[in-house]
Amino acid sequence: MLRRLKSWWLLRKLQSNCPSTVEAAEKSLSTLAEPSLIPALIPLLGERWHVKCAAWQVLESIDPNWEKTAPGTAGLLRFAERVNAKQGQLPSDVVEALGRSGDPRALPCLAVALENVQECAIGSDGDNEIWGVPNEPFKRALASFGSAAIPTIRPLLASKNEYAKSAAREVLAVLKKAEKHCHG
């Protein structure tokens, strides 16, 4: 009980605005390596950069394949559904983790999230923000499901969102090419 209480207290510290507090909480949580924290850490992947990095480090210390564990997959799906319900932008790290999970329940979440993709700041050249569409993670995640993703991807071809439509065309082309290579 005391260990669990300490874990949750450290989890709150991980959300601090102070990078040094976040770093200290990350180190403590990493040594605890408590799998029950995985679902609570996943929403932090959508937070500020230093919080997101710390949460990612703790997840990796708990289990390098955390996204394939039952709590990891369930937490990813819940987080994606919550973001999708608000029509928000799903963080690219979460998109990629959903793809690595290998869970087919992630496909509808990925499709809805791709429909919500909008142009945003994706980097900086030092002086100016670089704007673009973060659909590469979606393409990798959807393609990782192979032909099982095709029924989910096809409806995206009729999407009003040009970014989603473009990504769907590209993934289908990759999957078609891969299928020809396997059968050819």
State whether 133 and 86 are in the same domain. yes
101 and 16 inside one domain: no
Query: What pLDDT does 87 receive?
Result: 87
174 and 91 in one domain? yes
SS3 150: helix
In this prediction, residue 83 carries a pLDDT of 92
Q: Hey, which residues does 121 pair with through a beta bridge? A: 131
The structural domain count of the chain equals: 2
| Helix, strand and coil percent figures for the chain, each rounded to 5 | 75, 5, 20
Read off the pLDDT band of 91 (50, 70, 90): confident
Can you read off the two tokens belonging to residue 51?
Answer: 């919080």
Looking at 64, 79, 114, the residue that finishes a domain is 64
Domain residues for 31?
A: 2-64
Q: Residue 4 has what pLDDT?
A: 62
Q: Are residues 39 and 108 in the same domain?
A: no
* 108 vs 122, more confident: 108
What is the Cα–Cα distance from 52 to 63, expressed in whole angstroms?
A: 17
47 and 81 inside one domain: no
At residue 95, the pLDDT reads 92
For the domain that residue 22 is a member of, what is the CATH number?
1.25.10.10
Residues 21 and 13 sit within 8 Å (Cβ to Cβ): yes
Residues 111 and 176 in one domain: yes
Which of 73-82, 134-143, 145-154, 166-175 is predicted with the least confidence, judged by mean pLDDT? 134-143
Q: State whether 60 and 76 are in the same domain.
A: no
Judged by average pLDDT, the poorest of 65-79, 86-100, 126-140 is: 126-140
pLDDT of amino acid 96: 92
Helix (H, G, I), strand (E, B) or coil at 129: strand
Residue that finishes a domain, picked among 49, 64, 79: 64
Statement to judge: residues 52 and 77 lie in one domain: no
- What are 22-73's pLDDT values in tens digits? 788 778 777 777 788 899 889 988 888 888 888 898 899 999 999 999 999 9
97 and 136 in a single domain? The answer is yes
pTM for this model (two decimals)? 0.81
**142 with 175, same domain?**
yes
pLDDT reported for residue 76: 96
Within this chain, do residues 50 and 72 fall inside the same structural domain, yes or no? no
Domain termination residue (choose one: 36, 64, 92): 64
**Residue 142, number of CB atoms within 10 A of its CB:** 31
Calpha distance 116→94 (Å, rounded): 14
Regarding whether 72 and 58 lie in a shared domain, the answer is no
